[in-house]
Amino acid sequence: MKFGVITFPGSNCDDDCLYVINKVFGIEAERIWHKNDNPLGDFDCIILPGGFSYGDYLRPGGIAKLSPVIKRVKEFASSGGLVIGICNGFQILTESGLLDGVLIRNKSLNFICKNVYLKVENRETPFTIKCKEVIKIPIAHKDGCFYCDNTTLDKLQKNNQIIFRYSNESGEVDNRFNPNGSLYSIAGICNRDKNVLGMMPHPERCSEEILGNIDGKMIFQSIIDSLSKC
Protein backbone atom coordinates (compact mmCIF):
# COMPACT_ATOMS: atom_id res chain seq x y z
CA MET A 1 0.00 0.00 0.00
CA LYS A 2 1.36 3.41 -0.95
CA PHE A 3 0.11 6.97 -0.49
CA GLY A 4 1.13 10.00 -2.53
CA VAL A 5 1.05 13.50 -1.03
CA ILE A 6 1.07 16.33 -3.57
CA THR A 7 3.11 19.43 -2.76
CA PHE A 8 2.46 22.84 -4.32
CA PRO A 9 4.49 26.00 -3.75
CA GLY A 10 3.00 27.17 -0.45
CA SER A 11 1.76 23.81 0.84
CA ASN A 12 2.30 23.58 4.60
CA CYS A 13 0.30 20.53 5.64
CA ASP A 14 2.02 18.09 3.30
CA ASP A 15 4.58 17.22 5.99
CA ASP A 16 1.76 16.60 8.48
CA CYS A 17 0.05 14.16 6.10
CA LEU A 18 3.32 12.39 5.33
CA TYR A 19 4.02 12.07 9.05
CA VAL A 20 0.61 10.60 9.82
CA ILE A 21 0.81 7.99 7.08
CA ASN A 22 4.51 7.14 7.60
CA LYS A 23 4.89 7.39 11.36
CA VAL A 24 1.44 6.96 12.88
CA PHE A 25 0.30 4.16 10.56
CA GLY A 26 3.67 2.85 9.37
CA ILE A 27 2.62 2.88 5.72
CA GLU A 28 4.69 4.09 2.79
CA ALA A 29 3.97 7.65 1.65
CA GLU A 30 5.83 9.70 -0.92
CA ARG A 31 5.87 13.40 -1.75
CA ILE A 32 4.79 14.32 -5.30
CA TRP A 33 5.82 17.71 -6.72
CA HIS A 34 3.05 19.61 -8.50
CA LYS A 35 4.95 19.63 -11.81
CA ASN A 36 5.05 15.84 -11.89
CA ASP A 37 3.62 14.61 -15.19
CA ASN A 38 4.09 10.90 -14.61
CA PRO A 39 1.11 8.55 -14.21
CA LEU A 40 0.16 7.84 -10.59
CA GLY A 41 -0.50 4.15 -11.05
CA ASP A 42 2.05 3.16 -8.40
CA PHE A 43 -0.09 4.77 -5.69
CA ASP A 44 -3.21 3.54 -3.92
CA CYS A 45 -4.36 6.88 -2.51
CA ILE A 46 -3.51 10.48 -3.37
CA ILE A 47 -3.71 13.27 -0.79
CA LEU A 48 -4.01 16.93 -1.75
CA PRO A 49 -3.03 18.57 1.54
CA GLY A 50 -4.03 21.83 3.14
CA GLY A 51 -2.04 25.02 3.35
CA PHE A 52 -1.74 27.19 0.29
CA SER A 53 -1.05 26.73 -3.40
CA TYR A 54 0.53 29.25 -5.72
CA GLY A 55 -2.00 31.70 -7.15
CA ASP A 56 -4.35 31.49 -4.17
CA TYR A 57 -4.32 35.28 -3.98
CA LEU A 58 -6.32 35.24 -7.25
CA ARG A 59 -8.69 32.45 -6.17
CA PRO A 60 -7.82 29.47 -3.96
CA GLY A 61 -7.00 26.51 -6.19
CA GLY A 62 -7.71 28.45 -9.37
CA ILE A 63 -4.11 28.33 -10.59
CA ALA A 64 -3.09 25.06 -8.93
CA LYS A 65 -5.67 23.23 -11.04
CA LEU A 66 -3.46 23.97 -14.06
CA SER A 67 -0.46 22.10 -12.62
CA PRO A 68 0.56 19.02 -14.63
CA VAL A 69 -0.07 16.70 -11.68
CA ILE A 70 -3.80 17.54 -11.63
CA LYS A 71 -4.23 15.95 -15.05
CA ARG A 72 -2.68 12.83 -13.56
CA VAL A 73 -4.93 13.03 -10.50
CA LYS A 74 -7.96 13.14 -12.79
CA GLU A 75 -6.73 10.03 -14.61
CA PHE A 76 -6.08 8.33 -11.29
CA ALA A 77 -9.55 9.16 -10.00
CA SER A 78 -11.27 8.09 -13.21
CA SER A 79 -9.62 4.68 -12.87
CA GLY A 80 -11.09 4.30 -9.37
CA GLY A 81 -8.13 5.47 -7.29
CA LEU A 82 -8.87 7.10 -3.93
CA VAL A 83 -8.27 10.86 -3.70
CA ILE A 84 -8.72 13.04 -0.62
CA GLY A 85 -8.38 16.83 -0.68
CA ILE A 86 -8.06 18.62 2.66
CA CYS A 87 -8.75 22.36 3.03
CA ASN A 88 -6.77 23.89 0.13
CA GLY A 89 -6.89 20.43 -1.43
CA PHE A 90 -10.70 20.60 -1.32
CA GLN A 91 -10.53 23.97 -3.07
CA ILE A 92 -8.32 22.49 -5.80
CA LEU A 93 -10.70 19.55 -6.30
CA THR A 94 -13.67 21.86 -6.86
CA GLU A 95 -11.71 24.22 -9.10
CA SER A 96 -10.47 21.31 -11.22
CA GLY A 97 -13.98 19.88 -11.62
CA LEU A 98 -13.35 16.69 -9.69
CA LEU A 99 -15.95 17.81 -7.17
CA ASP A 100 -19.04 19.99 -7.47
CA GLY A 101 -19.48 23.44 -6.02
CA VAL A 102 -16.99 26.09 -5.00
CA LEU A 103 -15.27 27.31 -1.82
CA ILE A 104 -15.62 31.04 -1.19
CA ARG A 105 -14.67 33.54 1.53
CA ASN A 106 -16.05 32.80 5.00
CA LYS A 107 -19.26 34.65 5.76
CA SER A 108 -17.48 36.49 8.59
CA LEU A 109 -14.64 37.45 6.18
CA ASN A 110 -12.25 36.29 8.91
CA PHE A 111 -9.74 33.46 9.18
CA ILE A 112 -11.12 30.80 11.52
CA CYS A 113 -9.00 28.35 13.50
CA LYS A 114 -10.73 26.13 16.06
CA ASN A 115 -12.11 22.66 16.72
CA VAL A 116 -15.52 21.88 15.26
CA TYR A 117 -17.89 18.93 15.36
CA LEU A 118 -18.90 17.14 12.20
CA LYS A 119 -21.93 14.95 11.66
CA VAL A 120 -20.87 12.08 9.40
CA GLU A 121 -23.77 11.90 6.97
CA ASN A 122 -22.50 8.92 4.98
CA ARG A 123 -20.51 6.25 6.81
CA GLU A 124 -20.46 3.85 3.87
CA THR A 125 -17.64 5.48 1.85
CA PRO A 126 -13.98 4.38 1.74
CA PHE A 127 -13.18 7.49 3.82
CA THR A 128 -15.74 7.04 6.60
CA ILE A 129 -16.32 3.34 7.30
CA LYS A 130 -14.42 3.59 10.61
CA CYS A 131 -15.93 6.93 11.66
CA LYS A 132 -18.31 7.57 14.54
CA GLU A 133 -21.57 9.41 13.92
CA VAL A 134 -20.02 12.65 15.20
CA ILE A 135 -16.32 13.52 15.11
CA LYS A 136 -14.30 16.51 16.29
CA ILE A 137 -11.81 17.95 13.80
CA PRO A 138 -9.94 21.30 13.70
CA ILE A 139 -10.47 23.87 10.95
CA ALA A 140 -8.08 26.61 9.79
CA HIS A 141 -9.28 28.58 6.79
CA LYS A 142 -10.49 31.88 5.40
CA ASP A 143 -12.08 30.56 2.18
CA GLY A 144 -13.98 27.54 3.48
CA CYS A 145 -17.58 28.47 2.75
CA PHE A 146 -19.03 25.81 0.45
CA TYR A 147 -21.53 26.99 -2.11
CA CYS A 148 -23.41 25.51 -5.08
CA ASP A 149 -26.69 26.11 -6.88
CA ASN A 150 -29.91 24.40 -5.80
CA THR A 151 -29.81 21.86 -8.62
CA THR A 152 -26.34 20.75 -7.56
CA LEU A 153 -27.36 20.60 -3.90
CA ASP A 154 -30.33 18.41 -4.78
CA LYS A 155 -28.00 16.10 -6.69
CA LEU A 156 -25.54 15.90 -3.81
CA GLN A 157 -28.35 15.01 -1.43
CA LYS A 158 -29.98 12.48 -3.76
CA ASN A 159 -26.71 10.64 -4.39
CA ASN A 160 -25.56 10.69 -0.75
CA GLN A 161 -22.51 12.75 -1.71
CA ILE A 162 -22.67 15.03 1.32
CA ILE A 163 -20.26 13.38 3.74
CA PHE A 164 -19.68 15.88 6.56
CA ARG A 165 -21.87 18.68 7.96
CA TYR A 166 -21.00 21.09 10.74
CA SER A 167 -22.91 20.20 13.91
CA ASN A 168 -22.74 20.28 17.68
CA GLU A 169 -21.37 17.48 19.86
CA SER A 170 -24.71 15.65 19.68
CA GLY A 171 -24.87 15.77 15.89
CA GLU A 172 -27.50 18.51 15.70
CA VAL A 173 -27.06 20.51 12.50
CA ASP A 174 -27.93 24.17 12.86
CA ASN A 175 -26.54 27.45 11.55
CA ARG A 176 -25.40 28.20 15.10
CA PHE A 177 -22.73 25.55 14.65
CA ASN A 178 -21.78 26.52 11.10
CA PRO A 179 -18.44 28.36 11.42
CA ASN A 180 -18.11 29.75 7.90
CA GLY A 181 -21.61 30.07 6.43
CA SER A 182 -21.39 27.02 4.18
CA LEU A 183 -24.55 26.14 2.30
CA TYR A 184 -26.46 23.39 4.13
CA SER A 185 -23.63 23.40 6.72
CA ILE A 186 -21.51 21.34 4.32
CA ALA A 187 -17.99 20.55 5.52
CA GLY A 188 -17.15 17.78 3.03
CA ILE A 189 -18.48 16.10 -0.10
CA CYS A 190 -17.48 13.28 -2.41
CA ASN A 191 -18.01 12.53 -6.08
CA ARG A 192 -20.77 10.25 -7.29
CA ASP A 193 -18.47 7.21 -7.39
CA LYS A 194 -17.43 7.87 -3.76
CA ASN A 195 -13.69 7.63 -4.50
CA VAL A 196 -12.90 11.37 -4.35
CA LEU A 197 -13.44 13.26 -1.09
CA GLY A 198 -13.00 16.94 -0.33
CA MET A 199 -13.19 18.18 3.24
CA MET A 200 -12.42 21.55 4.81
CA PRO A 201 -11.41 20.35 8.33
CA HIS A 202 -7.93 18.89 8.95
CA PRO A 203 -7.92 15.22 10.07
CA GLU A 204 -4.11 15.10 9.96
CA ARG A 205 -4.02 17.58 12.85
CA CYS A 206 -5.87 15.26 15.22
CA SER A 207 -4.46 11.79 14.63
CA GLU A 208 -2.30 11.32 17.74
CA GLU A 209 -3.03 11.15 21.47
CA ILE A 210 -0.37 13.77 22.16
CA LEU A 211 -2.53 16.28 20.26
CA GLY A 212 -5.46 15.62 22.57
CA ASN A 213 -7.73 14.22 19.87
CA ILE A 214 -7.53 11.21 17.56
CA ASP A 215 -10.84 11.54 15.69
CA GLY A 216 -8.99 12.40 12.47
CA LYS A 217 -7.28 9.02 12.64
CA MET A 218 -10.62 7.38 11.83
CA ILE A 219 -10.61 8.90 8.35
CA PHE A 220 -7.13 7.61 7.50
CA GLN A 221 -7.95 4.23 9.07
CA SER A 222 -11.07 4.06 6.89
CA ILE A 223 -8.95 4.62 3.77
CA ILE A 224 -6.41 1.99 4.83
CA ASP A 225 -9.06 -0.59 5.66
CA SER A 226 -10.86 0.07 2.37
CA LEU A 227 -7.65 -0.40 0.39
CA SER A 228 -6.82 -3.56 2.33
CA LYS A 229 -10.07 -5.11 1.13
CA CYS A 230 -9.32 -4.43 -2.52
Residues belonging to the active site: 87, 202, 204
Task: State which amino acid sits at residue 205.
Answer: R
Distance CA 21, CA 25 (A): 5
DSSP state of 23: I
Q: Environment class of residue 164 by beta-carbon count within 10 Å: exposed (0-12), middle (13-18) or buried (19+)?
A: buried
Distance CA 111, CA 108 (A): 8
Distance CA 110, CA 89 (A): 20
The SS3 of residue 62 is: coil
